[in-house]
A and B are shown apart, each in its own frame.
Chain A
Amino acid sequence: MYELNGKTINHDEEGYIVNLDDWSEELADKIAKDEELDMTEEHWEVVKFLRDYYQEYQIAPAVRVLTKAVGKRLGQDKGSNKYLYELFPYGPAKQACKIAGLPKPTGCV
């Protein structure tokens, strides 16, 4: 469970929140801290991109798709594995989705 301002928020065994409506920017900060990650503007850009993507398409994209889509929408320099893995060392799809409060990406990611 995550604790935030006296409220508890359930997550699964890997840390993905159970109820997607529980997400807030504060919670994202908290999840990131648990992952020993300091959220910079660049992190937020990817997290917000993922949330927008989920809003539009109802899925968390596979990592290869994420890389391509980030390049297309946020700029070619950001659409690389290197850039995204430096921001999210445990995997841009898995770790960034967790912070963004999205379901765990399924399949080969």
Chain B
Amino acid sequence: MTHPDDTPAEIVVKRFLYVNRKAPHGTIYALEELEMVLIAAMFEQDVHLAFLDDGVFQIKKNQKPAELALKDFSKTYGALEDYGVEKIYVEKESIEERGLTPDDFIIPTTVLRRDDMSALMESMDVVLTA
């Protein structure tokens, strides 16, 4: 694999959006999307994360997946700041439909209405969804 430090001096910076739409456990999408974000964070790109639909549960506080012998990777979202990933959005309608507020989340988030979320997606160069 090419190391990101090998990229030429003139770095292209694109707007990346990682869209998380699924509940944290039950399928592997949330975990592998997060693994991708941690790698992507090494590439000096403009990284954004969005949580909508059941994806908002990924960053819910007080998860106890150890009772199902699953790793609690919800803690890993707390390291995103160290990785320089700080543009994190949740969809207002999604959290309201699920009885959540931003206080329920382990990381600071910006709440966007559904049409503003569409506009955010529209403004991206690369949108990776799972």
Contact = CB atoms under 8 A, between A and B. Distances in A.
A61 interface: yes
B71 A106 contact: no
Contacts of B71: 58
Interface residues of A, number: 14
B76 A57 contact: yes
B72 interface: yes
A65 B39 contact: no
Interface string B1-20: 10110000000000000000
A107 interface: yes
Nearest to B80: A57
Interface in A70-109: 106-108
Given A65-B83, A108-B1, A108-B4, A58 B42 contact: no
A57 B39 contact: no
Interface residues of B, number: 16
A65 B4 contact: no
A62 interface: yes
Contacts of A56: 75, 78-79
A59 B76 contact: yes
Nearest to B35: A106
B75 A57 contact: yes
A65 B79 contact: yes
B100 interface: no
A77 to B, nearest CB: 19
Contacts of B72: 58
A68 interface: yes
A64 interface: yes
Given A58-B75, A59-B76, A107-B42, 18 more contacts: A53-B79, A57-B78, A57-B79, A58-B71, A58-B73, A59-B38, A61-B82, A62-B38, A62-B42, A65-B79, A65-B82, A65-B83, A106-B39, A107-B35, A107-B39, A108-B3, A108-B4, A108-B39
13 contacts: A58-B73, A59-B38, A61-B79, A61-B82, A64-B42, A65-B79, A65-B82, A106-B35, A107-B35, A108-B1, A108-B3, A108-B39, A108-B42
Interface of B: 1, 3-4, 35, 38-39, 42, 71-73, 75-76, 78-79, 82-83
